[in-house]
Structure 1
Amino acid sequence: MALSEKPLEALLVHLFTHNDKNLEWIPMKVRTAVSTYFNYSYTFGQLILVGIAFAIQHWRWLQFTLATPFYIFFLSSWWFPESARWLILQNKADVALKHLKWVAKLNNKEEEGKTLTTAILKSTMEKELSNIKGKYSVLDLFKTPIMCKIACCTMLVWFSTSFAYYGLAIDLQRFGVDIYLIQIIFGAVDIPAKLLGVVTLSYIGRRFTQGTSLILAGSIVIINIFIPKDMQALRTSLAAIGKGCLATAFSCCYLHAGELYPTVVRQTGMGLVTTMARFGAMVAPVVKMTGDYIAFLPMTIYGGMAIISGIAGFLLPETLNIPLPDTIEEVENRAKRSAEKDADSKKDEISLQETFTSKTEADHLT
């Protein structure tokens, strides 16, 4: 974590303006890049899987080999630092202070870290602490208009992204290419797709990237239905591009949703949407079976859901270069200010148009 030249201000700025758990420890200016780099671990995992599956072809031993690392990672998770912002909002400023001093030490700012106290941390988040209630549940995601809209749209986006992604993945053999080769192709296409995603996320925005990648992926999946089966190269290429778009959408999902949900319910919101993603992965094979009755139906459903969720993605607020919210009230207030700003802009536009019209009519009369 990069800290600025001013010692105390540096730590406070890092904690309270540069905010899911990983996001809160990453400076805003590199949040998009770091989040995408994390997602590359999934891509490289897909590529490594090809080699492991080729070497261990008995499915039981393959499953055992792939499952074993999860136990190690589960145990290591107990050593991850909890979100400092969340700890302060949960009246655990002493634990947050301990984590912050550890982070300062990692960044060679140990002396600056010593100047921090629990009183300073609490005073910095005084407003947020005054608006917070005791406990939050998943129901709090639906109690206010804007939060309800965010929750419903992100649930649809996550469900459809996972649904279409695994819908393509379980149908690899349909393309008539060696299953190991097609897995490599489908894994490798993520590399340029996610790099392109970093550019659009950083310079255009999260909402554009989310919506466009899903609509483009859905359109490609549906177009592929009409490509003759003897044109395998074209069909495989289109499928790979569609999968790349879904990989970009997945990268954006984690970043955008984490920035939309306030600190007090961020983990609850992320838990909800990731559950919807798992549900989408479970439903995908069931939908695949409908192809036994109508050949084009599965891909039509996969593509259609991706397009619908892409439209829903455009309904979400933009979060590019905006500090993460801490409370539900902050989310609602931001939406109100944004709506008021848009209303004022429209009034100014109408006023200018009326002035121009009046002037034109006056000139015409004279």
Structure 2
Amino acid sequence: MAFEEFLDEVGGLGKFQILQIVLILPSLMIIVCQILLENFTVAVPHHRCWVHILDNATVSDNDTGLLSHDVLLRISIPLDSNLKPEKCHRFLHPQWQLLHLNGTFPNMTDLDTEPCVDGWVYDHSLFSSTIVTEWDFVCDHQSQKPVAQFIFMAGMLVGGFIYGHLSDRFGRKLILRCCLLQLAISGTCAAFAPTFLIYCSLRFWSGCSAVAIVTNNSMLIIEWTRSQSKAVILTLIACTFSMGQMMLGGLAFVFREWRTLQLVVSVPFFVFFLSSRWLVESARWLIITNKPDEGLKELKKVAHRNGMKNAEATLNMEGLRVIMQEELETAQMKTTVFDLFRTPNLRKRICLLFFVSHSMITATVQFSTIYFKYTEMQTVRVTLASVEIGCVAASNTSISVHFAELLPTLVRAKASGVDTMASRCGATLAPLLMTLAVYLPALPWIIYGVCPIIAGLLVLLQPETRHLPLPDTIQDVEDKKQFSRKVNEKDFFMKVTKF
């Protein structure tokens, strides 16, 4: 926590921090497009079976007389229960007798039908092509559709755990640059994938790198920002995510071919990889991991960019050892994921944060299910959607602020990776709760409603972190009460002296 004194010396929110934010926020905006990409690239357009007399280009008008398209469709494709053309079946032979029924609809079950053995015809008015139309993931093959998004989420699950550990060991900037290049290559190659298997493999690697990009970019911002400005900066990051969602909608409207859209949201990461060379590694992490010389070098660089000319005289090894003696002693020890649960205070914080992240998913499922339930009530659906988005956005922003302020620098990336695993497990389990309806129809809804309420109450057990420095070591977390008292006494002394 003593690192805050150095931030005061070099500038806690100056030109350097603004430049760092300008370099980072665009990549966070586009990464949201990558995460939500399957909402558009895996869209299912209207479709029907391919029919010879309708869709064969060699069939001339003389072959079918002067019959219109709608008439040919009526004798070729049966109607479903909503009197719409069937999506997965066609008549075995053209049913010419249907032309003489004058608007009446016979019992279709008495007519011979067959599956779409010759393929499908898709409506291209909304999307010129999607993964579904590319590989015909409809009817008997529609179960393949969710696989793409599942593979990407599985990649985020694995990447959060692996890259979280690597970020705490090798640095935020190095792992970030590797992941930017990995996402640029895998995302661009996915736009040219010849088979679905290759596409899924590339999306898995994109998911692995996407979660590390979000985590490391955020840490490179907050670990260089003073305590009083962290909440504002993290709120700005959350707003950037929302802007990314809006941007994806606009891009999907302009680029309606899935390969083009995939390429558009992937190529910019080559630019982000090149521009990331101007990012500055977290001096807080360098010092905590026993690299004080490199940490001082970065601090001097920041002081120069912020115009703090007098700060370089105080940035020396002797002053560092005096101010951060406890942190340098802790830096001699190596940490693992198990250190997150070794001490009581840190274990309590981690467990509470993980439960809140699971509970966020249940709240989303609850709102989403109610949204689809009221299909005929447009006003209710829009209102529920607005409430859902507002609540989730506000909760995510608050959680991100609290998460960063509760966990020490030494294991912050590891904790973020494990938290990602917890939230993905929640995303997997939440839909399965609907199976409990066989025992009691209201039971899933009770769980969906109670979990967020419990999570909201459990947050009250977490300590208040407003305007407190980021903890750097596990010992800082265990001594939180004592440190908070010292900070308050110091602030009171400074105010009285100024008065």
Q: What is the TM-score of this pair, normalised by structure 1?
A: 0.64
Aligned to 1:144, which of 303, 318, 343?
A: 343
Cα shift at 1:307: 2.4
* Residue aligning to 2:326: 127
Q: What is the aligned partner in structure 1 of residue 9 from structure 2?
A: 11
Counterpart Cα distance in 1 of 2:367 and 2:268: 26
Distance 1:119 1:14, change over 3 A: farther
* Matching of residue 174 in structure 1 with residue 372 in structure 2: yes
| Residues 1:33 and 1:108: Cα distance change in structure 2 (over 3 Å) | same
In 2, the alpha carbon distance for the partners of 1:279 and 1:76 equals 34
The 2-side partners of 1:154 and 1:8 are apart by 29
Alignment of 1:18-37 (within 5 A): 20-37=219-236
Query: 1:264 and 2:410 equivalent?
Result: yes
How many residues align structurally?
277
Give the drift of 1:161: 2.2
Distance verdict in 2 for CA 1:329–1:55, change over 3 Å: same
Q: How does 1:348-359 map to 2 (within 5 A)?
A: none
Say yes or no: does 1:105 pair with 2:269.
Answer: no
In 2, Cα distance between equivalents of 1:298 and 1:311? 20
In structure 2, the residue matched to 1:254 is 400
Aligned to 2:132: none
- Which of the numbers 475, 482, 485 marks the counterpart of 1:329? 475
Residue ranges of structure 2 left out of the alignment (5+ in a row): 14-218, 486-499
Contact 1:164/1:303, CA 8 A, preserved across alignment: yes
- Aligned mates of 1:161, 1:270 — CA distance in 2: 16
The yes-or-no answer on 1:65 pairing with 2:63 is no
Inter-CA distance 307–73: structure 2 relative to 1 (3 Å threshold): farther
Which residue matches 1:314?
460
Tell me which residue corresponds to 2:420. 274
Task: Encode CA deviations 1:246-280: one digit per residue, 9 max, x unaligned.
Answer: 11111111111111011221222222223323443
Match in the other structure for 1:240: 386
1:41 counterpart = 2:39: no
1:92 alignment counterpart = 291
Cα 1:320–1:9 shift into 2, 3 Å? closer
Partner of 1:40: helix, strand, or coil?
A: helix
Cα distance between partner residues in 1 of 2:379 and 2:345 = 45
Q: Give the unaligned 5+ runs of structure 1.
A: 1-6, 176-227, 340-366
Contact 1:88 1:96 in 2 (8 A): yes
Q: Deviations over 1:33-86 (max 9, x none)?
A: 121011111011111111112222334443343344345435544543222122
- Give yes or no for contact 2:406–2:471 (8 Å, CA) kept in 1: yes
- Kindly indicate whether residue 308 of structure 2 is the aligned counterpart of residue 118 of structure 1: no
Higher relative contact order (CA 8 A, sep 6+): 1
Q: Which deviates the most, 38-47 or 283-292?
A: 283-292
Larger radius of gyration: 2
Which moves more between the two structures, 65-74 or 41-50?
A: 65-74
* C-alpha displacement of 1:168: 5.1
Deviation at 1:150, TM superposition (A): 0.6
Q: Residue 288 of structure 1: CA displacement?
A: 7.3
- Separation in structure 2 between the aligned mates of residue 56 and residue 32 of structure 1, nearest angstrom: 36
Q: Which stretch shows the higher mean deviation, 264-273 or 247-256?
A: 264-273
Contact 1:81 1:99 in 2 (8 A): yes
Q: Given that residues 101 and 110 in structure 1 are in contact (C-alpha distance below 8 angstroms), is that contact kept between their aligned partners in structure 2?
A: no
In the alignment, residue 38 of structure 1 is paired with which amino acid?
I
Q: Which residue pairs with 2:157 in the alignment?
A: none
Equivalent residue letter for 2:249:
V
Among all aligned residue pairs of Structure 1 and Structure 2, give the percentage whose two residues are the same amino acid. Answer: 37
Q: 1:213 maps to what in 2? A: none
Query: For the Cα contact (< 8 Å) 2:286–2:295, is it kept in 1?
Result: yes
Provide closer, same or farther for how the CA distance between residues 283 and 67 of structure 1 changes in structure 2, counting only shifts above 3 A. Answer: farther
329-338 or 304-313: which moved more?
A: 329-338
Distance of 1:66 and 1:288 partners within structure 2: 35
Q: Indicate the RMSD between aligned Cα atoms, in angstroms.
A: 3.6
Q: Which of 156, 163, 166 is the equivalent residue of 2:355?
A: 156
SS in 2 for 1:314: helix
Change (3 A) 1:291 1:9: closer
How far apart in 2 are the matches of 1:66 and 1:298?
Answer: 37
Helix, strand or coil for the counterpart of 1:152?
A: helix
- Aligned residues of 1:160 and 1:306 also touching (Cα < 8 A): yes
Q: Is 2:12–2:226's contact at 8 Å kept on the other side of the alignment?
A: yes
Task: Rate the CA distance shift 1:308–1:231 in 2: closer, same or farther, 3 A.
Answer: same
In the superposition, the TM-score normalised over structure 2's length comes to 0.48
Aligned to 1:54: 253
Change (3 A) 1:249 1:70: farther
Query: What's the CA shift for 1:229?
Result: 5.4
CA 1:173–1:73 in structure 2 vs 1: closer, same or farther (change >3 Å)?
A: farther
1:194 matched residue in structure 2: none
SS of residue in 2 equivalent to 1:116: coil
Between the aligned partners of 2:255 and 2:437, the Cα distance in structure 1 is 31
Deviations 1:129-149 (A, max 9, x none): 234542111100101111111
The CA distance in 1 between the partners of 2:365 and 2:320, in whole Å, is 44
